[in-house]
Structure 1
Amino acid sequence: MPLGVVVRRTPGVTRWAQWAWKAVAVLPAAAQAEWRVLRHEGDAIEYHAATPLLELHGAETDAYLHGLAARIPAIYVILRQSESSDGPPLDVLLVTASPYEAQDYADSGEEIIEKVPMPEAVVAWVQGFVDTHHIEEEFKKRRRDRTRTDKVEHSVGDPRVRKTADVYQAPQVRKERLN
């Protein structure tokens, strides 16, 4: 499903940042657009920045269920600072309904992850996908294997050195050296 990403530009609050950028909404089934001005209120401007596809995958249904169970279901917009100085200031990399995928992008620290409320039409679409493709997996507790580890000592010391004493003991100082 194509989702239009709405990004708001407001004046920065510090002298180091002239503008503050924030994804504030998504538009379901939007047409393609590239930084089209939607609304202008004083110094704040809202842009329809891009229209990436929201893709759902059958292996991610647990993540979608987790996102839908939130108090306010959300779409996560992944943005990155643009490398070109003459184009738009941000690139819209991805929109996702998976909080797990958004967390993966947060680990690098290079992307900006914005949590945007999920429109009702998208909630119904994602819920329908989950209802169709989700398979509940039964929890299986792992059992401890019965191997006895107290009888054999693997990787203790260097096998090339013959020593019958404890391999971890401190080296002895020879009395001949002290004289």
Structure 2
Amino acid sequence: MERTPSLHAAVLIERRRQPNRWEAWGFRIADVLLDEGLFGEAPRQLRDDGHLAQFLFPGLTVSLHRDEAEGYYLNLTSGAPVWFVMWRCSDADPSQAWPEMVTLSYNEAGRLLDAQERVDNVPLPADVTAWLQAYTDAHYRPEPKQRRRPASFRAPERR
């Protein structure tokens, strides 16, 4: 049985008080860091000056799967590979937000967006890009292109 390649990440979320006149709170994914066990296991607040706050959420697992190889390929060939972070806000307390998952698959991020989830992206560091490229090179095989005959060359009953 083959082991699923994975790594651990920590997500840094920034919260801004009243970023505009229509919102009480604004959030953005500030960074995604490799988590090598130095950040602990529990989320924590790093700073809060009343206007800007930063929260670190460690321990998110990013796994690579063969059936997502096309999504990894699309991420890598986009020109600027990224982490995709799906995050949520609390309905009970709109000042709270947290990351639910981190992925490297363009297709998976698209499915999450289609499901009306919040997905932001952050640039991927060179070492993770190289790791993802090696996996994609080993597991992604593009489907062969098939020439489609123009309808005008088909028999009328087959159009």
Give the structure-2-normalised TM-score. Answer: 0.77
Unaligned runs of 5+ in 1: 151-179
- Sequence identity (%): 26
Distance 1:72 1:42, change over 3 A: farther
Partner of 1:22: 28
Partner of 1:55: 63
Partner of 1:130: 136
> What is the rounded CA distance, in whole Å, between the counterparts of 2:19 and 2:30 in structure 1?
18
Partner of 1:69: 77
* Residues 1:7 and 2:13 aligned together: yes
**Contact 1:26/1:119 (8 A) holds in 2:** no
How far does residue 47 in structure 1 lie from its aligned partner after superposition? 1.3
> What is the rounded CA distance, in whole Å, between the counterparts of 1:59 and 1:96 in structure 2?
13
Name the SS for the 2:129 alignment partner.
helix
> What is the rounded CA distance, in whole Å, between the counterparts of 2:147 and 2:100 in structure 1?
38
Larger of the two Rg values belongs to structure: 1
How far does residue 103 in structure 1 lie from its aligned partner after superposition? 1.4
> What is the rounded CA distance, in whole Å, between the counterparts of 1:30 and 1:47 in structure 2?
18
**Contact 1:28/1:119 (8 A) holds in 2:** no
**Contact 2:73/2:140 (8 A) holds in 1:** no
Looking at secondary structure, tell me which structure has more strand per residue.
Answer: 2
Looking at secondary structure, tell me which structure has more helix per residue.
Answer: 2
Aligned length: 148
